[in-house]
A and B are shown apart, each in its own frame.
Chain A
């Protein structure tokens, strides 16, 4: 059974950093891209970015709103995808979700809440 579990969320001050983790099980993690999304309170879904599998270069793409501040990485030996968030802004407050793949997003984690506030 495929499972994705996000962790690392919490309350953080503007300008600080936070790293989220997405721990995967139930599939061959290294064979898949991994994506991150977010949803601000009461708002719609927003694509954050993804990381391709090593077979496709492990390259990344990001939304303009986070490019240069957020970095997605992966550790295939641990089946974990990371979202490093730097220079956080109040508008980054959201539930962050990871998902298996980058095209057909059939599995999602339960999300982790990040609150950016002083």
Chain B
């Protein structure tokens, strides 16, 4: 089973700042099958990035994903108030598909 470790656990930033979230895998993620989700309280997860770097439909271009192998990054170039939420990475390259434990992005 591939274990995903996200860092930091909590990130405190202000609107307008740049956010960098990390996801490290215990072994290489096949074909860069790595996704990022955003989740707000009481809501279902929302797909942001798939294939490590492809934005999902309707996702603003301030969200970008990068990385390969075992190290992946989600970058939010300029934080908007609606971006403060919990972010999860997920690998779907090998079963069981696994999630990281999440990074909480909070307003400073």
A55 contacts chain B at the CB level, 8 A cutoff: no
Interface of chain B: mostly helix, strand, loop or mixed: loop
Tally the A-B contacts, defined by beta carbons under 8 Å: 50
B interface, CB within 8 angstroms of A? 1, 33, 35, 37, 39, 44-47, 50-51, 56-57, 88, 90, 92, 95-102
What are 30 contact pairs spanning A and B, CB under 8 A? A37-B45, A44-B88, A44-B100, A44-B101, A44-B102, A45-B45, A45-B90, A45-B99, A45-B102, A47-B90, A47-B96, A47-B97, A47-B99, A61-B95, A63-B96, A64-B1, A97-B44, A103-B33, A103-B92, A104-B35, A104-B47, A104-B50, A104-B56, A105-B47, A106-B47, A106-B56, A108-B44, A108-B45, A109-B44, A111-B44
